[in-house]
Amino acid sequence: MRIAFTGNHRRTLIFAEIAKHLTALGHEVFWIATGSHEMSAILAPFQNILTIDKTAKGSLDSFEKYSHITVNGIIASDRILQKMPYEKSVRYVSACCTQIKTFLADNNIDLVFGEVTWAHEMVTAGLCRQLDIPFLSPVNVRYPSDRFAFFEGVFQQNIIAVSKEINLSEGIKLYDRFINYGAMPFYMQQVRKPLAKKVVYHIKRYMTGDTEDMTVPSMHRLISKSLRKFFSPKMPESKPSGRYIYLPLQCTPESSIDIQAGYYMDQLNFVKGVARSIPADFKLAVKPHPLNSYSRRFYRELSKIPSVEIANAQSIRLIEYAAAVVSISSTACYEAGLCGIPAVVFCDTFYTDLPTVKRCGSIEKLRGTITDAIDAYTEENVVKTFLARLYSSSYEGFCESPDVYADALSSSNIYKVSKAFEEVVSFYSSSKSATDDSICSKLI
């Protein structure tokens, strides 16, 4: 098969190892890159590379007819483009559109793998939909934390299930482990670079002129963000009083907010909307994300919202005593669903298959959706079956950057992840062969 990968900073390192494995199996590998020296060095062993020329003219053509995200949505979701002059951002998206579409079509690409964080990745996903090419994104399934699955398209709703078999015993084991011991997602303990090391790393990139990549933030933004994290006020341990609905804030910047959140990217306004919707006898317990940094101004604004109480206790304990959990797409809602506790999310996600997790279409509908979630009933066997199905559709390993998972490039992890990609590629290769045979038989 002819397989393309989208480059994404240091996550390209593990994609490169997977690409080598697939090449050894006889597949032809192609790359969509953004032009940094770092990425170019990683891709040095490969040919068939498109390096996006941000200065080239492009056309949006009928892109928005097929893409799940509009051009304006892509610009608003990309943490670099949203800070740039609008006309320049549109030109870049147009350049990506024309170059990537030509690259995919001219090389007869059969399958694309990539994350969905940056503009070039969102554009690629939209173009794949237009050209009828599967775009698969390998994403950690949160629980169990040591497994990942392949999602098709931009949103993390539909898992590609290669195997139709369901191992119910694994679902039972996962359920019992979660109920008895809980779970801490691996990314809550992600690798942290010392502040000085991070600053030196980025200064070096700027001094060497490595700024052509449209995924590199400005130096001012990098330094201010690092300093804000360093001087961010520490919240004391606190628990909500009385009856409450739990709302965990999510880490930013992060694709689960930048892209999956859609119209709810502004978490402060989201909290305000939720606070207006809950019953009078409830408080809204808002927990800051432990990996995020917040300014004193942010906490002041939070404290001004009627019914809001800032909570800084262990998340699983806040879930356990909550009347319901509300978030944009937080893992806390997934954990609540596993416990049979009512939960409401505001974006499409795979764990809305759990009976007590409800998808809310708008803030205006939240009050009714919370009621539906509270009235929902679930049996243990339903949750166990969900986990069994998830286990059977996912793979062991961490398809992550070494900055997120320290042992991502270990030989054991690369082996596990590469075998997962091999199985998925084989599945699509078989499907393609069957389709081609069907077309040939019709022609004959």
Q: Which two tokens stand for residue 182?
A: 């809980």
Specify if 375 maps to a domain: yes
Are residues 363 and 244 located together in one domain of the fold?
yes
Q: Give the H or E element holding residue 286.
A: strand 283-287
Q: 372 and 269 share a domain?
A: yes
The answer to pTM > 0.85 is yes
Name the residue among 241, 235, 236 with its Cα closest to residue 321: 241
Listed residues 181, 200, 230: the one ending a domain: 230
Residue that finishes a domain, picked among 181, 212, 230: 230
Q: In terms of domains, do 251 and 224 share one?
A: no
Do the domain assignments include residue 258?
A: yes
Q: CATH number of the domain at 71, please.
A: 3.40.50
221 and 244 part of one domain: no
Q: Which of 230, 246, 279 is the last residue of a domain?
A: 230
Per DSSP, the residues of 54-67 read: TTS----TTHHHH-
Predicted pLDDT of residue 441:
40
Is 24 inside any structural domain?
Answer: yes
In a domain, 328, yes or no: yes
Angle value at C-alpha 21, between 18 and 23, nearest 5 degrees: 110
- Evaluate whether residue 158 is within a structural domain: no
Does residue 99 share a domain with residue 24? yes
15 and 86 inside one domain: yes
> Does a structural domain hold residue 7?
yes
Assess whether 223 and 256 both reside in one domain.
no
> Does 87 reside within a domain?
yes
In a domain, 186, yes or no: no
> How far is the C-alpha of 419 from the C-alpha of 429, rounded, in Å?
15
329 and 296 belong to one structural domain: yes
Q: How many domains does the chain have?
A: 3
Query: Does 14 share its domain with 69?
Result: yes
- What CATH number does residue 252 fall under? 3.40.50.2000
Within this chain, do residues 279 and 243 fall inside the same structural domain, yes or no? yes
Whether residue 426 sits in one domain with residue 377: no
Q: What is the pLDDT of residues 227-272, one digit of tens each?
A: 555 556 666 566 788 899 999 998 776 666 666 766 777 888 999 9
Measured between alpha carbons, how far is 245 from 173 in angstroms, rounded to an integer? Answer: 29
Alpha carbon distances (Å) from 255 to 24, 72, 191: 32, 16, 18
Phi-psi region at 251: left, alpha or beta (left = phi > 0; alpha = psi -120 to 50): beta
pLDDT tens for each residue of the chain, 444 residues long? 999 999 998 899 999 999 999 999 999 999 999 988 888 899 999 999 999 999 899 999 899 999 999 999 999 889 889 889 999 999 999 999 999 999 999 999 999 999 998 999 999 999 999 999 999 999 999 999 999 999 998 888 889 988 878 989 999 999 999 998 877 666 555 555 555 666 666 666 666 666 567 776 655 555 555 555 555 666 656 678 889 999 999 877 666 666 676 677 788 899 999 999 888 889 999 998 877 777 788 888 988 998 999 998 889 999 999 999 999 989 999 999 999 999 999 988 999 999 999 999 888 999 899 888 888 877 899 999 999 999 999 999 999 999 889 999 999 999 999 999 999 999 999 876 545 544 334 434
Whole-angstrom CA distances from 153 to 82, 127, 434 are: 22, 10, 23
Structural domain range at position 113: 2-133+410-443
- 258 and 205 both lie in a single domain: no
Rounded CA separation 365/70 (Å): 24
